[in-house]
Amino acid sequence: MGNQRIKWEVLNPNAEREMVAGTPAPRLPTLSGKKIGLFANGKPGAEVVLDSVMRLLQGKFDNTRFEMFPLFLNVGEENIRKMAACDAVVAAIGD
Amino acid sequence: MRDSIGIERLGTPTVVLLTEPFSTTAKLTAELTGLEALPTVSIPHPQAGLPRDVVYQRISAVIDDITSALFQTPGAGEVVAGTKIIKKPEPEVIVISGESNSDALRKVNRHFYQERWTDGFPIVPPTEEAVQGMLTGTDRDPSEIVALIPLAYGKATIRNIAINCVMAGAEPEYMPVVIAAVEAITDPQFAVGVQAWGAAGMQTTTGPVTPLLIVSGPVAKDLNIESGYGCFSRGHQANATIGRALRLILTNAGGAYPGINDMKGQGGSQEFTFCVAEQEENRVYHQGAKAWQPLHVERGFPRETSTVTAVAAWPPLNIEDFYDCSPKILDRVVAAISNLAVVPYTLDRECVLILNPTHAECLADAGMSKDDIRQYVYANAVMPWRWYKEQYPGPFRLQPRWMQHIVDESTTVHLFESPENFHIIVAGGPCPYSQVVRASYKIATKEIRLPKK
């Protein structure tokens, strides 16, 4: 170990963070008859991914409606509220 | 992720599909924003550019995971919803022992490197004494929160900025410049545009985007921020450490780590530091009726004020012109920004032309104002629609609506929405080489507030 005669105290360069804890929203018993928001992050692949999701869900559930939200990151409170008005949302990061 | 968290908080179940390299950053973002249980489903990377039938097969393989995420309640965690959580850096003080000063220095650097707190280069240990010395460079309260830095939205207080400035090897008098740089990259103007991602996008993107800082006004000379020969090269302490301090703040207050949640595929060496001063003493800024205005004056600040302009910069493109003193210099700029390798998929992005004195003086002597240069570059940075469409097959919603209704494929489209998208500064030594830096979104300018003492 040697003679550890030098002692330096240095400061942590990370920053304090503050957040509010949340719990997940209640889940659905089925997607039949529900409106699903499809949220694309603005990258070229996102809408293609969500198009596939829509087609597959149409094959599995009856009377499911869809609305595409071709938005980007930091979409703003108004768009978040619009998407939250759906019964569920599938978001895709399409990189 | 943050938007999905916002939707969950309003009571609507969500699931996020993301490609595998983004899984860690997604979970980190969820943890950092108090909703660790937000469900995600990973799919192979990349998705962009794949045939639709391939994407369909990939989504088929995970469709049951997607529906399960909407049916089954994820674990709620132990913390009661609505509880304010404050996470302080732990430990606040790190004690390092060594056999000698050099041994202790080596151990400090090894510890900081292993914790991912450095840029890979050795740092100056941020002792309390050193930080107190750095704080003499500003008269702002050390507890003042300058900004919240994404991705972790850590509080970049004056004190936290000082700690990272010490690590970078900055001088105390650089503090006001670094503080203004932090303000600029977190200003809402920095996130204006079709892809309004701002600093958060810059921290996590796969593209090699990093802040370029342009210092204008008297403080550039006072602090010896280089605007002449080698202004982007090695050997200039102010340029090197101001840019480096900002990068360390982005890493340590922003919680962005290469390959973990900062997904730059290759990145670039300008991430270490990218800072320059505008060469306002050049005669183009002072001669004749068409004298060029400094960048900060064009952006509404008095000439005697000093500012930092932040640019979400892609790697610089070299413009080579051997003293052909004519607008042909600008044809090379046009060629650099309107070829298929760099075509922007949103037209609202901006560009900074960094003209060396030779090129700048040639253009000014030919009677060109900055507005003349802007207009020339804008008018000529065009591309046939069919070429543009091949790069970005539609309907691609980031394009303006008028572009989506083009019928004649021989139509020529402007690659930038306005001449105002172009900004021009003079920097460097006389030579045949200039640079153009494309920005991911809008630039932002903040005043450098010097201490009153």
Does B198 sit within 8 Å of A74, measured CB to CB?
A: yes
Q: Per-residue pLDDT averaged across B341-348, rounded?
A: 74
Predicted confidence (pLDDT) at residue B394 exceeds the cutoff of 50: no
Lowest pLDDT segment from A76-90, B27-41, B279-293: B27-41
Domain for residue B67, yes or no?
yes
Does B300 reach chain A within 8 Å, measured CB to CB? Answer: no
Domain for residue B66, yes or no?
yes
Domain for residue B13, yes or no?
yes
Q: Which residues on chain A are in Cβ contact (under 8 Å) with B164?
A: 13
DSSP, res B333: H
Does B201 sit within 8 Å of A73, measured CB to CB?
A: yes
Does A7 sit within 8 Å of B96, measured CB to CB?
A: yes
Q: How confident is the model at residue B395 (pLDDT cuts 50, 70, 90)?
A: very low
* Three-state secondary structure call for residue A39: strand
Nearest to B128 among A11, A24, A80 (CB): A11
Tell me the shortest Cα–Cα distance from B309 to chain A, in angstroms.
Answer: 22
* Three-state secondary structure call for residue B16: strand
Does B47 sit within 8 Å of A21, measured CB to CB?
A: no
Higher local confidence (pLDDT), B390 or B312 = B312
- For chain B, give the mean pLDDT: 89
Q: How far apart are CA B232 and CA B227, in angstroms?
A: 9
Domain for residue B23, yes or no?
yes
Which residues in chain B (29-68) have CB-CB distances under 8 A to chain A?
Answer: 32-35, 37-39, 43, 45-50, 52, 55-56, 58-60, 63, 66-67
Q: Which residues on chain B are in Cβ contact (under 8 Å) with A24?
A: 8, 13, 35, 37-39, 73-74, 76
Q: Which residues on chain A are in Cβ contact (under 8 Å) with B17?
A: 49, 53, 90-93
Domain for residue B333, yes or no?
no
Tell me the shortest Cα–Cα distance from A65 to chain B, in angstroms.
Answer: 15
Task: For residue range B27-72, list pLDDT tens digits in order.
Answer: 777 776 777 778 889 888 777 778 889 989 999 999 999 999 998 7
Predicted confidence (pLDDT) at residue A73 exceeds the cutoff of 60: no
Lowest pLDDT segment from A43-52, B288-297, B389-398: B389-398
Does B201 sit within 8 Å of A45, measured CB to CB?
A: no
Size of interface A-B (CB pairs under 8 A): 302
pLDDT of residue B281: 97
In this prediction, what percent of chain B has a pLDDT beyond 70? 93
* Three-state secondary structure call for residue A47: helix
Which residues are paired to B154 by β-bridges? B149
Task: For residue range B5-34, list pLDDT tens digits in order.
Answer: 889 889 999 999 988 767 777 777 777 677
Highest mean pLDDT among B35-49, B195-209, B212-226: B212-226
Domain for residue B83, yes or no?
no
Which residues in chain B (190-209) have CB-CB distances under 8 A to chain A?
Answer: 191, 194-198, 200-201, 206
Peptide bond into B91 cis (omega under 30): yes
The DSSP H or E segment spanning B166 is helix B158-168
Residue to test with chain A: of B70, B349, B391, B401, most A Cβ within 10 A: B70
Does A29 sit within 8 Å of B88, measured CB to CB?
A: no
Q: How confident is the model at residue A42 (pLDDT cuts 50, 70, 90)?
A: low
Q: How far apart are CA B249 and CA B240, in angstroms?
A: 15
Q: Which residues contact B428 (CB under 8 A, 6 or more apart)?
A: B227, B228, B229, B231, B232, B279, B354, B356, B357, B434
ipTM of the complex: 0.87
Query: pTM for the whole thing?
Result: 0.85
Query: What is the count of structural domains for chain B?
Result: 1
Predicted confidence (pLDDT) at residue B184 exceeds the cutoff of 70: yes
Q: How far is CA B319 from CA A34, B342, B355, in A?
A: 56, 14, 9
Q: Per-residue pLDDT averaged across B357-364, rounded?
A: 94
Predicted confidence (pLDDT) at residue A21 exceeds the cutoff of 80: no
Does B196 sit within 8 Å of A72, measured CB to CB?
A: yes
Does B343 reach chain A within 8 Å, measured CB to CB? Answer: no
Does B124 reach chain A within 8 Å, measured CB to CB? Answer: no
Q: How far apart are CA B76 and CA A23, in angstroms?
A: 5
Domain for residue B54, yes or no?
yes
Domain for residue B211, yes or no?
no
Q: Per-residue pLDDT averaged across A59-78, rounded?
A: 82
Residue B18's domain comprises 2-71
Which residues are paired to B85 by β-bridges? A19
Predicted confidence (pLDDT) at residue B119 exceeds the cutoff of 80: yes
